Amino acid sequence: MSSDSVLVLSYYHPWVAGGGHRPRGLMSEELLLSRQVCFLYIDGSTPPAALRDRWQMEPHAGNLHLARTSADGSVVFEGTSKTWHGSVALEQLFDEFSPAIVRIHNPSKRHLPAAMLAQTRSISLHYDQMDLWEAFTAQPWGANAERWYLDNADLISTVSRYLADRLPDKRVAVIPNGVPQSFIAECAKRRRSNHGEPQYEIIYAGALWPDWIDWPLIESLVESTPDRQWCFVGAAKPPVGEDHGTDAQAILSRLRSRFNVTVMEEVEHADLAGLLVNSRMGIVPFRRTPVTLAASPIKIYDYLAAQIPALCFDTPEVCDLHNVIRCPGPPDYLQAINAVLMRPSPDHFDIDAITWQRRLRQLDAFVAQCAPLRGRA
On whether the 181-353 domain is CATH 3.40.50.2000, my answer is: yes
**How does strand 101-104 pair with strand 6-9?**
parallel
**What are 263's strand-pairing partners?**
232
Closest residue by Cα to residue 350 from 289, 283, 305: 305
| Full-model pTM | 0.92
Given a cut of 90, is residue 140 above it in pLDDT? no
Least confident of 15-24, 34-43, 56-65, 205-214: 56-65
**Taking 90 as the threshold, does the pLDDT of residue 61 lie above it?**
no
Q: Is the pLDDT of residue 374 over 60?
A: no
212 in helix, strand or coil? coil
Residue 375: pLDDT band with limits 50, 70, 90: very low
Greatest CA separation found in the chain? 66
Element (H, E) at 373: helix 356-374
Q: Of all helices (H) and strands (E), which one includes residue 270?
A: helix 269-277
47: phi then psi, degrees, rounded to nearest 5: -70, 160
Residue 373 has pLDDT above 60, yes or no: no
Separation CA 120–CA 200 (nearest Å): 55
| Span 175-201, pLDDT tens digits | 999 999 999 999 999 988 887 788 999
Per-domain residue ranges of the chain = 6-177+355-372, 181-353
pLDDT tens-place string over residues 251-292: 999 999 999 999 999 888 888 999 999 999 999 999 999 999
**Stretch 215-230: mean pLDDT, rounded?**
95
Average pLDDT on 80-97 reads: 87
Q: Tell me what pLDDT residue 74 has.
A: 87
Q: How confident is the model at residue 377, as a pLDDT? A: 35
Closest CA to 33 of 13, 60, 62, 8: 60
The answer to whether the 6-177+355-372 and 181-353 domains have the same CATH topology is yes
Higher pLDDT, 35 or 329: 35
- What percent of the chain is modeled with pLDDT above 70? 91
CA angle, corner 256, sides to 250 and 261, nearest 5?
130
pLDDT(83) > 60 = yes
6-177+355-372 architecture in CATH? Answer: 3-Layer(aba) Sandwich (3.40)
Q: What is the mean pLDDT of residues 204-232?
A: 95
Residue 169 pLDDT: 85
Choice among 42-46, 199-203, 282-286, 369-373 with the minimum mean pLDDT: 369-373
**8/222 Cα distance (integer angstroms):** 42
- pLDDT at 270 (0 to 100): 82
Q: Do the Cβ atoms of 78 and 84 come closer than 8 Å?
A: no
Alpha carbon 192 to chain centroid, angstroms: 27
Residue 3: its pLDDT value, please? Answer: 56
Which of the four pLDDT bands, split at 50, 70 and 90, describes residue 1?
A: very low
What is the predicted pLDDT for the residue at 244? 84
Answer with the residue of higher pLDDT: 296 or 244: 296
Report d(CA 155, CA 70) in Å as an integer. Answer: 26
pLDDT grade for 51, boundaries at 50, 70 and 90: low
Beta-sheet strand order (sheet of 75-77): 86-88, 75-77, 64-69, 37-41, 6-9, 101-104, 124-129, 155-158, 172-174
Confidence class for position 48, pLDDT limits 50, 70, 90 = low
pLDDT, the chain, mean = 89
Radius of gyration of the chain (CA): 21
Percent of the chain with pLDDT over 90: 66
User: If pLDDT is split at 50, 70 and 90, which confidence band does 349 have?
Assistant: low
Q: How many CB atoms lie within 10 A of CB 298?
A: 23
